[in-house]
Amino acid sequence: MKRQDKADRIGAMLEELYPETPIPLDHTDPYTLLIAVLLSAQSTDKKVNEITPGLFARADTPQAMMRLSVDEIARLIRQIGLAPTKAKNIYKLSTDLVERHGGLVPADIEALEALAGVGHKTASVVMAQAFGVPAFPVDTHIHRLAARWGLSSGRNVETTERDLKGLFPKEGWNRLHLQIIYFGREHCPARHHDLSTCPICSWAATKKRMAEEAKNNKSKRARR
């Protein structure tokens, strides 16, 4: 099956499975979304949603965040991975937003990427979900699924993003990004996944890919 045919079938399946695509990170505006996405790196959305109410009760604007010390921010997010580094970035980006952008989150991907701790994926999420600008944020989960499904070579996230943008209509990118994440959580986990029973992997993955992952799973079970 050609890549485009796979993409069309996968897109239709995901649309049927996930007609509603709520943003999994709790937030109230572009700033709180930006902070939540930054915190989600090497953490789970569930954990971020447990932490952010306490943080945002103290500071839910760049101006308020600047009034906290880095140590205070780190204490408020201490249960999150890489908390000390993230606290420094939150303080610095909040300061930059006030001093360079009038306290507003810019609706510009290059300006977002210039903020402390904000990479391309984080900036893309904010552009897509806060401002409705078509983007296709590719995290490690989407990168993995695209490779499993044969939609990309999987060499790196940049290649995966380019391949997915070429396969799916631009107007659907923002929804599809979330639909793939939901599908991965529910049906297509990273570890101990039997591709032959997956609603998509079972027909989209190559026989070689299925054999490789089955072998890897067997080796991991043997080492336990």
Domain boundaries, the chain: 3-19+137-223, 30-131
The catalytic residue among 6, 60, 139, 163 is 139
Does the domain at residues 3-19+137-223 carry the CATH identifier 1.10.1670.10?
yes
Sorted by sequence, the CB contacts under 8 Å of residue 170 that are 6+ apart come out as: 134
What angle do the packed helices 120-131 and 30-40 form, to 10 degrees? 150
Does the annotation mark 163 as catalytic? Answer: no
Structure token pair of residue 72: 């205070």
Spot the catalytic one: 6, 86, 121, 163: 121
User: What's the pLDDT score for residue 61?
Assistant: 98
Q: Which CATH number fits domain 30-131: 1.10.340.30, 2.160.20.10, 1.10.3720.10, 3.40.50.150?
A: 1.10.340.30
Q: Give the tokens for residue 150.
A: 């044969």
Per-residue pLDDT of the chain (224 residues; tens, 9 = 90+): 899 999 999 999 999 999 999 999 999 999 999 999 999 998 999 999 999 999 999 999 999 999 999 999 999 999 999 999 999 999 999 999 999 999 999 999 999 999 999 999 999 999 999 999 999 999 888 999 999 999 998 789 999 999 999 999 999 999 999 999 999 999 999 888 999 999 999 999 999 999 988 888 776 665 65
Predicted TM-score (pTM) of this structure: 0.90
- Residue 49: CB atoms within 10 A of its CB come to 16
Distances (CA, A) of 21 to 5, 39, 71, 177: 24, 21, 35, 9
Helix ranges (H only) for the chain are 3-17, 30-40, 45-58, 62-66, 70-76, 83-101, 109-113, 120-131, 140-148, 157-167, 173-187, 201-204, 207-223
* Active site (annotated) includes residue 46: no
pLDDT score at 223: 63
Q: Which pair of tokens denotes residue 197?
A: 């029973």
pLDDT of residue 31: 98
